[in-house]
């Protein structure tokens, strides 16, 4: 039998390695900014073109490199951070593997310009497809400048999975946000297509940096968190229970200066707030943990976003207790009160303008009749052919979804304009997405405009969203756009927006409907073609014929 196993060529190995580390433009920004921070930079400037697809430039005033180091930095597993196996147990730098630059160079065109502070000139190296194309001595300021062009130009399979410009830029803004929140002594400048997104001067005032990034409203709701337990120290900020969000994106956790995602710590935060806020709602936290380097393993994830703790239970207790202590003077929300908050919803009202031809739907008798409601959620309906149980939220959700889809096809949707536009403060990445997709949002009745540096102005909403919390709605929309907004696939994006808006506007469970409201709901459902599923694919009704019902009681 012929041998099947072979050693891969170096260029393929490099591209595979790059795929583990470089997922999108934001991954490049993360790796390069971490290198700049490790180099002791005072100011880091990031310039982006077309969401990073065309160009990413990161400049710093850090220690720079001499010529020999500049060449070595582009080699795989070349690093100044570790020298032997023991160093892996006491890693104190953000980067250490020596894979970032070589991985980036394998899937893009790279220009590296660098100069050490004690050198009179610098070095420029040009790399394409992982190979050095040229090098020269050059005059330049101390520090390092890396320019990345045409990311994934030689890996089309990866390139086609990149999303729209607004989506990719939102991810980059989130990366800078994570870095800047914890490294307030470093100045950050972020530009997109020559437009300044962030200009954050260095500061020793943590709240000043938080306000510059997350806004005044969040900052005024923060309380100080500070505690230690002999194992580690936690310091930072957390919002009061009355300020909550519908997304966990506002939870920022750092371990020894490194942003991480960790289920253990997330559970500790959730547990601390459990008595204070409703389920599926989240606080904003910026928590920085300082623990011995030997107690945490940061070498368990290619992008270094996950870590492993040796004494996880103690860390969980430290975070949970510190948050509970900071929140101890706030009243506790009882579980039944939290349930009521989740289900609070304006009553379903019959639309006033539905018509078939020139005759109003409400002028004809319904084909079905309501005979009851179970748990304030399920409608019991009888008709000539049998009996139905309808999930009122799912049915209304599908009706609104169909209405929004018709709006996309040009049919006018009923809107509620605001006499005075409603300014809503949002995060930078959320604003980038909402403003970038404002024309798509307008097609489904939600009209927004840019309003100042970190806010948008809502001028009109679909009528069925009257009474909806606009702050929460915009947060949910931006999260959906970040997750689904693929470049060019606007139809898919718009469909997801319709699903989200319909879900937000539909009558909720545990809400008692009057018979008139039910009849109106049924007429709209019939007009929509009597669909059997909600936009998410869940069944919205169960039916039994009278023959089946009679058979249960042996009447047939």
- Name the least confident of 74-88, 122-136, 302-316, 408-422: 74-88
Q: Mean per-residue pLDDT for 525-537?
A: 85
- pLDDT at residue number 336: 34
* Strands 368-374 and 386-391, sheet pairing: unpaired
Banded model confidence at residue 348, pLDDT cuts 50, 70, 90: very low
- pLDDT at residue number 359: 31
Quick one: tokens of 203? 């500061």
Rounded to the nearest integer, the mean pLDDT of the chain is 82
State pLDDT tens for residues 90-140.
555 665 555 778 888 888 899 999 999 999 999 999 998 888 888 999 999
List all residues 6 or more positions away from 517 whose beta carbon is below 8 Å from its beta carbon.
347, 348, 349, 350
End-to-end CA distance of the chain: 70
What distance in Å separates the CA atoms of residue 215 and residue 524, rounded to the nearest whole number? 42
Asked if the domains 10-202 and 367-543 are classified in one and the same CATH topology, the answer is: no
Q: Mean per-residue pLDDT for 439-457?
A: 86
List all residues 6 or more positions away from 209 whose beta carbon is below 8 Å from its beta carbon.
180, 181, 184, 200, 203
- pLDDT at residue number 129: 82
- pLDDT at residue number 356: 26
Does domain 367-543 fall under CATH 3.30.460.80? My reply is: no
Does domain 10-202 fall under CATH 3.40.50.1100? My reply is: no
Banded model confidence at residue 285, pLDDT cuts 50, 70, 90: very high
Contact by Cβ (8 Å): 513, 407: no
Torsion of CA 293, 296, 298, 300, to 10 degrees: 150
Neighbours of 49 (CB within 10 A): 16
Q: Mean per-residue pLDDT for 480-497?
A: 67
With a cut of 60, say whether residue 335 has pLDDT above it. no
- pLDDT at residue number 158: 77
The residue whose two tokens read 């009558």 is 507
pTM: 0.76
Contact by Cβ (8 Å): 450, 456: yes
Pick left, alpha or beta for residue 537 (phi over 0 → left; psi -120 to 50 → alpha; otherwise beta): left
What distance in Å separates the CA atoms of residue 230 and residue 89, rounded to the nearest whole number? 20
Q: Mean per-residue pLDDT for 211-236?
A: 89
Helix (H) or strand (E) holding 239: strand 233-239
- Name the least confident of 228-232, 287-291, 396-400: 228-232
Most confident of 366-375, 476-485, 528-537: 528-537
State pLDDT tens for residues 56-69.
999 999 999 999 88
- pLDDT at residue number 342: 37
- Degrees (nearest 5) of the Cα angle 474, 478, 483? 150
Q: Mean per-residue pLDDT for 198-212?
A: 92
With a cut of 90, say whether residue 438 has pLDDT above it. no
Q: Mean per-residue pLDDT for 8-35?
A: 78
What distance in Å separates the CA atoms of residue 519 and residue 529, rounded to the nearest whole number? 16
With a cut of 50, say whether residue 293 has pLDDT above it. yes
Tell me the domain boundaries of the chain.
10-202, 215-337, 367-543
Its CATH architecture, for the domain 215-337, is 2-Layer Sandwich (3.30)
What distance in Å separates the CA atoms of residue 286 and residue 323, rounded to the nearest whole number? 11
State pLDDT tens for residues 138-171.
999 999 999 999 998 888 877 777 888 888 999 9
With a cut of 50, say whether residue 352 has pLDDT above it. no
User: Looking at per-residue confidence, does 24 or 298 come out higher?
Assistant: 24
With a cut of 50, say whether residue 345 has pLDDT above it. no
What distance in Å separates the CA atoms of residue 70 and residue 92, rounded to the nearest whole number? 22
Quick one: tokens of 527? 């007009």
For residue 397, give Cα distances in angstroms to 98, 347, 374.
51, 14, 19
**Where does residue 50 rank: exposed (0-12), middle (13-18), buried (19+ CB within 10 A)?**
middle
**Where does residue 33 rank: exposed (0-12), middle (13-18), buried (19+ CB within 10 A)?**
buried
- pLDDT at residue number 32: 92
């Amino acid at each position: 039998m012929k041998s099947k196993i072979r050693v891969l060529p170096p260029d393929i190995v490099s591209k595979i390695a790059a795929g583990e580390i470089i997922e999108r433009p934001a991954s490049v920004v993360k790796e390069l900014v971490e290198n700049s921070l490790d180099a002791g930079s005072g100011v880091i400037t990031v310039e982006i073109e077309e969401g990073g697809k065309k160009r990413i430039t990161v400049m710093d005033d850090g220690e720079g490199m001499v010529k020999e180091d500049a060449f070595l930095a582009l080699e795989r597993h070349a690093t100044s951070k570790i020298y032997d196996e023991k160093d892996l147990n006491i890693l104190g730098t953000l980067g250490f593997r020596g894979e970032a630059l070589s991985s980036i160079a394998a899937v893009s065109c790279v220009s590296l310009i660098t100069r050490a502070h004690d050198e009179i000139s610098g070095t420029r190296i040009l790399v394409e497809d992982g190979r050095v194309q040229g090098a020269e001595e050059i005059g330049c300021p101390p520090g390092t400048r890396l320019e990345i062009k045409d990311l994934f130009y030689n890996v089309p399979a990866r390139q086609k999975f990149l999303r729209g410009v607004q989506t990719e830029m939102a991810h980059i803004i989130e990366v800078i946000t994570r870095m800047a929140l914890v490294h307030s002594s470093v100045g950050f400048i972020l530009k997109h297509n020559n437009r300044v997104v962030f200009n954050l001067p260095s500061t020793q005032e943590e709240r000043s940096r938080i306000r510059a990034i997350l806004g005044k409203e969040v900052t005024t709701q923060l309380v100080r968190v500070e505690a230690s337990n002999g194992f580690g120290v936690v310091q930072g900020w957390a919002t009061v229970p009355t300020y909550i969000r519908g997304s966990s994106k506002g939870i920022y956790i750092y371990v020894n200066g490194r942003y991480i995602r960790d289920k253990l710590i997330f559970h500790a935060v959730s547990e601390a707030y459990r008595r204070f806020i409703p389920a599926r709602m989240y606080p904003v936290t910026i928590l920085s943990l300082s623990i011995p380097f030997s107690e945490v393993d940061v070498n368990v994830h290619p992008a270094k976003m996950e870590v492993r703790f040796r004494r996880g239970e103690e860390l969980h207790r430290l975070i949970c207790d510190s948050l509970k202590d900071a929140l101890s003077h706030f009243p506790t929300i009882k579980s039944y009160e939290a349930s009521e908050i989740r289900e609070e919803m304006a009553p379903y009202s019959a639309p006033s303008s539905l018509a078939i031809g020139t005759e109003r739907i409400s002028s004809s008798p319904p084909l079905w009749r309501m005979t009851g409601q179970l748990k304030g959620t399920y409608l019991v309906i009888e008709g000539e052919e049998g009996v139905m149980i309808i999930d009122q939220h799912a049915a209304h959700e599908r009706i609104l979804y169909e209405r929004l889809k018709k709006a996309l096809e040009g049919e006018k949707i009923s809107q509620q304009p605001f006499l005075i536009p409603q300014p809503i403060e949002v995060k930078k990445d959320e604003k980038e997405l909402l403003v970038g997709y404002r024309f798509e949002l307008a097609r489904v009745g939600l009209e927004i405009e840019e309003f100042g540096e970190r806010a948008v102005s809502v001028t009109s909403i679909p009528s069925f969203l009257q009474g909806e919390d606009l702050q929460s709605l915009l947060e949910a929309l931006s999260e959906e756009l970040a997750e689904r907004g693929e470049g060019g696939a606007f139809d898919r994006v718009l469909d997801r927006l319709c699903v989200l808006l319909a879900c937000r506007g539909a009558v909720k469970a545990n809400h008692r409907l009057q018979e008139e409201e039910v009849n109106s709901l049924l007429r709209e459902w019939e007009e929509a073609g009597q669909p059997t599923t909600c936009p998410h694919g869940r069944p919205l009704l169960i039916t039994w014929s009278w023959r089946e019902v009679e058979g249960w009681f042996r009447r047939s």
